Amino acid sequence: MKTNLKRIKDDIENLSKFNATPENGLTRFSLTEEDRGARNYLKKELQKLDVEIYEDAAGSLVARRAGTAKDAPVVMIGSHFDSVKNGGHFDGPAGVIMALEILRVMEENDVKTKYPIEFVALIEEEGGRFGGGVFGSRSMTGQVDYQELLDFKDAAGISMAQAFENFGFDPTKIEEARRDPEELKAFIELHIEQGPVLENEAKDVGIVDFIVGINQIKVKVEGRADHAGTTPMEMRKDALSSAAEVISEIKNFALKAGNGTVATVGTLAVKPGAANIVPAEVEFSVDIRSKKLNCIQEVREQIDQALAAIKAEYSVDYSVQNMLMVEPVELSEEIFNIFKDESKKLGLNSKQMISGAGHDAMIMAAITDVGLIFVPSKDGRSHTPEEWTDYEDLQKGIELIYHTILKVGEI
Ligand code: HGY
Ligand code: MN
Ligand code: MN
Ligand code: MN
């Protein structure tokens, strides 16, 4: 069974055409014209195959290839097709085109599987437009309700519910995206590593056994706008200088928690945002990750204490909005072992890995057995225009998934 390297390359390059920032990496936010272009490309490719195509109530694209066993649970394969801002061409699409190429090869070789195979291109995994993220998979696991679509807004203040309507989806039906765990046999994802390990150790694939927990929050600090020239320092309620005291401490909270805990302040917005006005309001994100849930909780507690301290010291106010909370998760040992055996048979050298990046796989693990493999990232770079994976390396990962799902279909 041979996948087609040219098709793999063409798929990545064709998907990359649907990009809001061609001059600076790839930006494809959910429910935008770039999303529509990518979605339509995938539909066009899927329509060449004997599959049932539909979009679920969350807007993820699904294509189902019938199995021989009636009413058997599906083996779901895929990843997400949205991107971060000015990101790369492989983060997400590598796993989506894996699923597309496997469906093509199954059809070309008239492969019969007992279990139906489902291709999924999941929506809004990055949260690049609305925050939070892993939205398509959280909808499948019943973790999203209509209220979230009303609450989560993009930079222009458009709610997800409004964006759904503008795009042609009905936000009130979101809970219909929920999948019955009984109808799922496994969820198997291919993703780029987004780190340097596989390349440094000259390994073909990473087989993931564990994904870190993630807590993402949005913090708002509210002070008071004042004249920058006439307001004495001790009279100020400066939202930015007080928030900065918390932000500068966050790296130490992560270091103190240990166990590889990381914390990142990735966004910072200042209002009204003028050089001669004391900042009235600041909003910043904090992304906390650790393989130990208690370490995440420890960092959160320290952040809450630091916020209470600036409130007492500077009479500013603050609020914290929880955007995402996912606990650390072990992936299926059974699928892990099949990956290991199949990679040996294919002559691939593999490495057992923990994932510091979040993936839809960590969400789907709540309702089904999950497998996740990585393919090498050049120089370990990702979430940047320099993100790159050799097509030959991607092809090796796709072949491993193909042989693995045939085996998963036998258990
Ligand atoms: O944030 C992550 O780890 C993933 O890229 N969404
Ligand atoms: Mn990503
Ligand atoms: Mn990703
Ligand atoms: Mn290589």
Atom of ligand 1 lying closest to residue 194 CA: 5
What residue's CA is closest to ligand 1, atom 6?
126
Among the listed residues 212, 209, 210, 208, the one whose alpha carbon sits nearest the alpha carbon of residue 291? 212
Determine whether the annotation assigns residue 126 to a binding site.
yes
* Tens-digit pLDDT profile for residues 97-120: 999 999 999 999 999 999 999 999
Ligand 1 center–CA 304 separation, angstroms: 24
Top mutation candidate among 86, 122, 194 for ligand 1, by most atoms within 8 Å of CB: 194
Which one of the ligands is nearest to 396 CA? 4
Q: In ligand 1, which atom is closest to the CA atom of 383?
A: 5
Which amino acid residue places its CA nearest to atom 4 of ligand 1?
Answer: 358
Residue 71, marked binder: no
The answer to whether 227 is a known ligand-binding residue is: no
Asked if residue 125 has its Cβ within 6 Å of ligand 1, the reply is yes
What pLDDT is recorded for position 410? 72
Whether ligand 1 lies within 6 angstroms of the CB of 88 is answered as no
pLDDT per position as a tens digit, 306-339: 999 999 999 999 999 999 999 999 999 999 999 9
The amino acid occupying position 334 is E
For residue range 85-101, list pLDDT tens digits in order.
999 999 999 999 999 99
Tell me: pLDDT of 1 over 90. no
Which amino acid appears at position 163 of this protein?
Answer: A
Note whether 77 and 64 are within 8 A (CB): no
Distance 130 CA to ligand 2 centre (A): 14
Q: Closest ligand 1 atom to the C-alpha of 287? A: 1
132 pocket-lining for ligand 1 (C-beta < 6 Å):
no
Ligand number nearest to the C-alpha of 390: 4
Grade residue 411 by pLDDT with cuts at 50, 70 and 90.
low
Percent pLDDT > 70 in the chain is 100
Q: Report the pLDDT value the prediction gives residue 70, as an integer from 0 to 100.
A: 80
Is 360 annotated as belonging to a binding site? no
80 is in an annotated binding site: yes
Q: Is the ipTM of this complex over 0.85?
A: yes
What pLDDT is stored for residue 409 in this prediction?
A: 76
Ligand 1, atom 1, residue with closest C-alpha:
358
Q: What is the pLDDT of residue 208?
A: 98
Whether the Cβ atoms of residue 273 and residue 281 lie closer than 8 Å to each other: no
Domains of the chain: 5-211+328-409 (3.40.630.10), 213-326 (3.30.70.360)
Instruction: Decide if pLDDT at 275 tops 80.
Output: yes
Q: Average pLDDT of 129-145? A: 96
| Mean pLDDT for the stretch of residues 267-290 | 98
Task: Indicate if the pLDDT at residue 388 is higher than 90.
Answer: yes
Does residue 358 have its Cβ closer than 6 Å to ligand 1?
yes
Ligand 1: atom nearest CA of 80 is: 6
Q: State yes or no: pLDDT of 364 exceeds 90.
A: yes
CA of 85 from ligand 4 middle (Å) equals 27
Q: Which of 80, 82, 84, 135 to mutate to test the pocket of ligand 1 (most atoms within 8 A of CB)?
A: 84
| Distance between Cα 91 and ligand 2 center (Å) | 6
Cα-based torsion angle of the residue sequence 391, 5, 3, 116 in order, rounded to the nearest 10 degrees: 70
What is the distance in A from the centroid of ligand 3 to the CA of 307? 31
Cβ of residue 387 lying under 6 Å from some atom of ligand 1: no
**Does residue 133 have its Cβ closer than 6 Å to ligand 1?**
yes
Which ligand 1 atom minimizes the distance to the CA of 126?
A: 6
CA of 225 to the centre of ligand 4 (A): 55
pLDDT average, residue stretch 113-141: 96
Decide: 115 and 75 in contact? Cβ < 8 Å: yes
What's the CA-to-centroid distance between 347 and ligand 1, angstroms?
Answer: 30
Query: CA dist 385 to 86, 89, 128, Å?
Result: 6, 8, 15
Task: Give me the residue label for tokens 């918390």.
Answer: 246
